[in-house]
Amino acid sequence: MSVRAPVPDFAGRPDFDSISQVEGGEARIAGSALAMGARVFVENRLAVAGLVVVVFMFAFCFIGPLLYRTNQINTDIYNLTAPPSPQHLLGTDSLGYDVLGRLMAGGQTSLEIGLIAAVLATTFGVIWGAVAGFVGGWLDQVMMRIVDSLLAIPTLFLLLVLAAMFTPSVPMLILIVALVAWLIPARLIRGETLSLRTREYVDAVRVMGGSGARIVLRHIIPNTIGTIMVNATFQVADAILAIAALSFLGLGVPPPSTNWGAMLSDGVSYSFEGYWWLIYPAGLAIVITVVAFNLIGDAMRDAFEVRLQKR
């Protein structure tokens, strides 16, 4: 197998390809590619700020309850809608729950559903789109017409129908959000696959007797990793918004569990009474977290585009 000679950069040092092809055309991201992508990401101050916010939100939701202990199971009828005080830093809600502790517990549910649903949706969508694009023909037509038919249905309407058909719970909400969210990555990866399946290394694997499954799993999908990672980041933000919308409409997890959307829905009922602590904390948590994930996704897209331009 011939090896292309390194091309010297302006400083006279060799600069190997960011992505090198090993035997059979398998994609391998070299260390220089990761360093380049990391450098582009770090240079984006908004993305770094978004990453800090996401890390803070995870620490707040999962470590915070260990430091700030509250009772999120039993109601306290003697402290209903109490304003912020040293005993309750963000006051209490209409059932006497500590709002700050409720915000942590609700964040755990929102982040868990968002992350797991995004992983499931991205994984299934990637496999669906890669198989459809690689096989082509009538199978591609059938698989993508299914995607087009589901995309024609408004997302919120589809979420409401699915949520109304099944008993709300954390696992069920994860499946419901994932069933709606896999459509976009399927279309994106199918488009990438249509281009990748004509590459020389794919033809070389066919000549060497490689199966279609090996080509898809070891060559097609790894070469779309940039699109996958960027889309997965946006999927998390979309999933958090979706579960917030369902909970706002009363189709969230049953009490005493909660999430940010349910907290916001309950707080809106008291907006005219001036109980701001029932509305703003949950609303700000949703907005800040979603914006942070979107900023990270934008930076990752820029990083991978720069890496691909250097190939």
Delimit the domains of the chain by residue range: 44-63+96-309
- Which option is the CATH number for 44-63+96-309: 1.10.3720.10, 3.90.550.10, 3.40.50.970, 3.20.20.150? 1.10.3720.10
Burial class from Cβ neighbours inside 10 Å (0-12, 13-18, 19+) for residue 168 reads middle
Burial class from Cβ neighbours inside 10 Å (0-12, 13-18, 19+) for residue 76 reads middle
Prediction pTM value: 0.79
Q: Is the predicted pLDDT of residue 304 greater than 80, yes or no?
A: no
pLDDT value of residue 142: 92
**What average pLDDT does the segment 156-163 reach?**
83
pLDDT confidence bin for 123, thresholds 50/70/90:
very high
Query: What are the structure tokens assigned to 275, written together?
Result: 């109980």
Query: What are the structure tokens assigned to 36, written together?
Result: 């380049």
Q: What is the pLDDT of residues 188-236, one digit of tens each?
A: 999 888 888 878 877 787 788 777 778 888 888 888 887 888 888 888 9
Q: Is the predicted pLDDT of residue 60 greater than 90, yes or no?
A: yes
CA–CA dist 196, 198 (Å, integer): 5
